[in-house]
Amino acid sequence: MGLLQNMQGGQGAPQAGQQAGDDPMQKALMEMLGATLMGDGGEAVASRIGAGEDKIQGVAEAVGSGIYTILKQARDAGRSVPAKNIVKALYEGCREMLTAGKIDDADSKIDALARALQHLVQMDQQADVIDDQILAEAGQLLQQIVAKMEEAEAGGQAPATQQPAPQPQEAA
């Protein structure tokens, strides 16, 4: 549950659980996010939200919904969360759940991250919680991350590596 604590600035999940008791939807979202983070890689969440066997959609919706709920709580407390932190939380949440579900390919991670941000934006359209400028910055950051991940995958190196990958020269 470190992801929840990081987004809330070190306040533990019990506070989120106490506040969630007032809103059944919020409580369900927090339960789904918690269950997913505990290790099924999105399978239970996917079935609960009607996504069938699409674990990536289950992960994306659970992460997007959970982050949205946390951002709503932050707004209600008078706090603003920068786009960098939102994207980092989306990335970490997707990565943790996909790893728990033994889905390790880069394409699935990119797909889940993009779907999670898309779900977050869709939720925000219903109840304008997140500043539009912050959402735009988050979208730009996401595009940069995706480009780096695709570049690293094409070059055969890990995304954290900063050096360009040597290009193999094959004789035709």
171 domain residue, yes or no: no
Q: Which domain holds residue 44?
A: 2-154
Whole-angstrom CA distances from 54 to 3, 35, 43, 109, 167 are: 23, 17, 8, 13, 35
125 occurs within a structural domain:
yes
Place of tokens 């269950």: 35
The answer as to whether 162 is a domain residue is: no
Q: Is residue 167 part of a domain?
A: no
Name the DSSP class of 36.
I
Tokens 């359209």 belong to residue: 125
Six token digits for residue 112? 């889940």
Tens-digit pLDDT profile for residues 23-40: 555 566 566 556 555 555
Mean pLDDT computed over 8-19:
42
Q: How many CB atoms lie within 10 A of CB 153?
A: 16
Dihedral angle computed from the Cα positions of residues 140, 142, 146 and 151, in that order, rounded to the nearest 10 degrees: 50
Query: pLDDT higher for 97 or 3?
Result: 97
Q: Does residue 169 belong to any structural domain of this protein?
A: no
Is 128 a residue whose pLDDT tops 80? yes
In a domain, 64, yes or no: yes
Considering the domain boundaries, does residue 161 fall inside one? no
Give tens-digit pLDDT for 72-112. Answer: 888 998 988 899 999 999 988 888 888 887 888 888 888 99
Considering only CA atoms, which of 2, 139, 134, 20 is closest in space to residue 76? 20
Residues 160 and 151: beta-carbon distance below 8 Å: no
Q: Is residue 104 in some structural domain?
A: yes
* pLDDT at residue 52 is higher than 60: no
CA distance 162 to 138: 22
* pLDDT tens by residue, 18-27: 444 455 555 6
Tokens of 2: 């470190």
Domain tally for the chain?
Answer: 1
| Cα–Cα distance for residue pair 46/43, rounded to 1 Å | 5
For residue 122, is pLDDT > 70?
yes
